[in-house]
Chain A
Amino acid sequence: MSDITKQSLTELVENIKNKKLSSTDVTKAFIDRSEKSEELNAYITNDFTSAIDKAKKFDQKPNLDLKLPGIPLAVKDLFCTKNIKTTAGSKILNNFVPTYESTVTENIWNEGAILLGKLNCDEFAMGSSNETSFFGNVQNPIDKNLVPGGSSGGSASAVAGQLSPITIGTDTGGSIRQPASFTGIVGLKPTYGSCSRYGIVAFASSLDQAGPMAQNVKDCALLHEVISSYDPKDSTSIDFKRNHFSKELTNNIKGKKIGIPKEYRVDGMPKEIEDLWQKGIQYIKDCGAETIDISLPNTSYALPTYYIVAPAEASSNLARYDGVKYGFRAKGENLIDMYEKTRSEGFGAEVQRRIMIGTYVLSSGYYDAYYLKAQKVRKLIKNDFDEAYKKVDAILTPSTPSSAFKIGEKTNDPVSMYLNDIFTVPVNLAGLPGISIPAGHDLNGYPLGLQIIGKAFDEQNILNIAYAMEEKINFKNKITDWWIK
Chain B
Amino acid sequence: MSKKDSEYLINRKDNQYEVVIGLEVHAQVLSESKLFSTSATKFGAEPNTQVSLVDAAFPGMLPVINEFCVKQAIKTGIGLNAKINKRSVFDRKNYFYADLPQGYQISQFKDPIVGEGKVILDMPNGQKEVGIERLHLEQDAGKSIHDLDPQNTFVDLNRSGVALMEIVSKPDLRSPDEVNAYIKKLRSIMRYLGTCDGNMQEGSLRADVNVSVRPKGSKEFGTRCEIKNVNSIKFMQMAIEYEANRQVDLIEEGKTIDQETRLFDTKKNETRSMRSKEDAHDYRYFPDPDLLPLEVSEKFIEEIKNDIPELPDDKKRRLIEEFKLSPYEANILVSDIDTAKYFEEVVAKMGKNKDIKLAVNWITGELFAVLNSKSLEISQSPVSSKNFAILINLIKNGTISGKIAKTVFELMIDGDKDPQKIVEEKGLKQQSDPKALEALIDKIINDNREKAIEYKQGKEKLFGFFVGQAMKASGGKANPQLINEILKKKL
The stretch that binds B, out of A26-34, A194-202, A422-430, is A194-202
Nearest chain B CB to A324 CB, angstrom units: 5
- The residues of B that contact A315 with a CB separation of less than 8 Å are 94, 284
Partner of A320, one of B102, B289, B290: B102
Q: Are B62 and A235 in contact (CB under 8 A)?
A: yes
Q: Given the complex of chains A and B, what is the CA–CA distance between A98 and B61 in angstroms?
A: 11
| A325 in contact with B56 (CB, 8 Å) | yes
Contacting residues of chain B (44-97) with chain A, CB-CB under 8 angstroms? 53, 56-65, 92, 94, 96
Identify which of A201, A233, A362, A371 contacts B59 (C-beta below 8 A). Answer: A201
A335 at the interface (CB under 8 A from B): yes
Residues of chain B contacted by A198 (CB below 8 angstroms): 60-62
Contacts of B103 in A (CB 8 A): 316, 318-320, 322
Report the minimum CB–CB distance from A236 to chain B (whole Å): 6
Bound form: Cα–Cα A326–B157 in Å: 14
Interface residues as binary, A76-111 with B (CB distance below 8 Å gives 1, 0 otherwise): 000110000010100001001011101000000000
Closest CB of chain B to A228's CB: distance in Å? Answer: 17
Cross-chain contact B64 with A326 (CB below 8 angstroms) = no
Using Cβ atoms and an 8 Å threshold, which residues of chain A touch B98? 322, 324, 335
Q: How far is the CA of A335 from the CA of B442 in the complex (A)?
A: 92
**Do residues B292 and A235 form an inter-chain contact, with CB atoms below 8 A?**
yes
Q: Which residue in A80, A235, A312, A335 is a CB contact (below 8 Å) of B60?
A: A80
A359 at the interface (CB under 8 A from B): yes
Distance in angstroms from B54 CB to nearest chain A CB is: 9
Instruction: For A131, list chain B residues within 8 Å (CB).
Output: none
A204 beta carbon closer than 8 Å to chain B? yes
Cβ–Cβ contact A335 & B104, under 8 A: no
Contact call B289/A205, Cβ cutoff below 8 A? yes
Residue of B nearest to A202 (CB): B60
Quick check: A99 and B53 within 8 Å, CB to CB? yes
Given contacts A234-B62, A235-B62, A363-B284, contact A320 B292 (CB under 8 A): no
Q: Which of chain A's residues 205-242 have a Cβ closer than 8 Å to chain B?
A: 205-206, 232-236
What residue in chain B is nearest A102 (Cβ atoms)?
B60
Partner among A99, A233, A313, A322 whose Cβ is within 8 Å of the Cβ of B96: A322
How many Å from the CB of B259 to the closest CB on chain A?
15
A372 → chain B, closest Cβ, in Å? Answer: 9
> Do B64 and A325 touch (CB < 8 A)?
no
Q: Please name all residues of chain B whose beta carbon is closer than 8 Å to the beta carbon of A204 when the two chains form the complex.
A: 289
Residues of B within 8 A of A324 (CB): 98, 101, 155
The answer to the question of A364 belonging to the interface, with a C-beta cut-off of 8 Å to chain B, is yes
Q: Does B326 contact A (CB under 8 A)?
A: no
Contacts of B59 in A (CB 8 A): 80, 86, 88, 93, 96, 98, 201-202, 320
| B291 interfacial by beta-carbon distance below 8 Å | yes
Which residues of chain A are within 8 angstroms of B53 by Cβ–Cβ distance? 99-100
A405 within 8 A of B: no
Within 8 A of B (CB), among A312-334: 312-313, 315-316, 318-320, 322, 324-326
Count of chain B residues with Cβ under 8 Å from any Cβ of A?
29
Residue of A nearest to B94 (CB): A316
Q: Does B58 lie within 8 Å of A100, measured CB to CB?
A: yes
A232 to B96, CA, bound (A): 29
CB-CB contacts below 8 Å: B17-61 with A: 53, 56-61
Which residues of chain A come closer than 8 Å to B292, judged between CB atoms? Answer: 235-236
Shortest distance between the CB of A343 and any CB in chain B (Å): 10
**Which residues of chain A are within 8 angstroms of B291 by Cβ–Cβ distance?**
235-236
**Option from A93, A232, A319 in Cβ contact (under 8 Å) with B104:** A319
B5 within 8 Å of A by Cβ? Answer: no
Whether, in the assembled complex, B282 has its beta carbon less than 8 Å from a beta carbon of chain A, the answer is yes
Is the beta-carbon distance between A316 and B57 smaller than 8 angstroms? no
> Is the CB–CB distance between A197 and B284 below 8 Å?
no
Complex interface residues of chain A between 355 and 381 (CB less than 8 A to chain B): 359, 362-364, 367, 371
Nearest residue in B to A327 (C-beta to C-beta)? Answer: B59
A166 to B56: give the CA distance in the assembly, Å: 33
Residue A483 interfacial (CB < 8 Å): no
The yes or no answer to A339 lying at the interface (CB within 8 A) is yes
B102 to chain A, nearest CB (A): 5
**Bound complex: CA of A455 vs CA of B121, how far in Å?**
57
Residue pair A371, B286 in contact (C-beta under 8 Å): yes
Q: In the bound complex, what is the Cα–Cα distance between A322 and B290 (angstroms)? A: 20
Nearest A residue (CB) for B36: A235
Task: Indicate if the CB atoms of B282 and A363 lie closer than 8 Å.
Answer: yes
A236: B residues at CB distance < 8 A: 289-292
- Residues on B with C-beta less than 8 A from A100 are 53, 58
**Cβ of B153 < 8 Å from any Cβ of A?**
yes
Interface set, chain B 195-218, CB cutoff 8 A to A: none
Cβ of A335 and Cβ of B153 under 8 Å apart? yes
> Given A234-B62, A235-B64, A312 and B57 touching (CB < 8 A)?
no
A205 and B290 within 8 A (CB): yes
Known: A316-B104, A319-B102, A320-B103. A201 touches B60 (CB 8 A): yes
**Cα(A315)–Cα(B59), bound, Å:** 14
> 1/0 per position for B95-113, CB-CB distance to A under 8 A?
0101001111000000000
Cβ of B58: which chain A residues have Cβ within 8 Å of it? 98, 100, 325-326
What residue of chain B has the Cβ atom nearest to residue A371's Cβ?
A: B286
19 pairs, A vs B, C-beta closer than 8 Å: A79-B60, A80-B60, A96-B59, A98-B58, A198-B60, A198-B61, A199-B60, A199-B61, A205-B290, A233-B64, A235-B63, A315-B284, A316-B92, A316-B94, A316-B286, A319-B102, A320-B102, A322-B103, A371-B286
Give B residues with C-beta under 8 Å from A.
Answer: 53, 56-65, 92, 94, 96, 98, 101-104, 153, 155, 282, 284-286, 289-292
Q: Which residues of A contact B (CB under 8 A)?
A: 79-80, 86, 88, 93, 96, 98-100, 102, 197-202, 204-206, 232-236, 312-313, 315-316, 318-320, 322, 324-326, 335, 339, 359, 362-364, 367, 371
In the A-B complex, the 3 residue pairs with the closest CB atoms: A319-B103, A205-B289, A206-B289
Known: A319-B94, A325-B101. 18 other contacts (CB 8 A): A80-B60, A96-B59, A98-B59, A205-B289, A206-B289, A232-B64, A235-B65, A235-B291, A236-B291, A319-B96, A319-B103, A322-B96, A322-B98, A322-B103, A326-B58, A335-B98, A362-B284, A367-B284
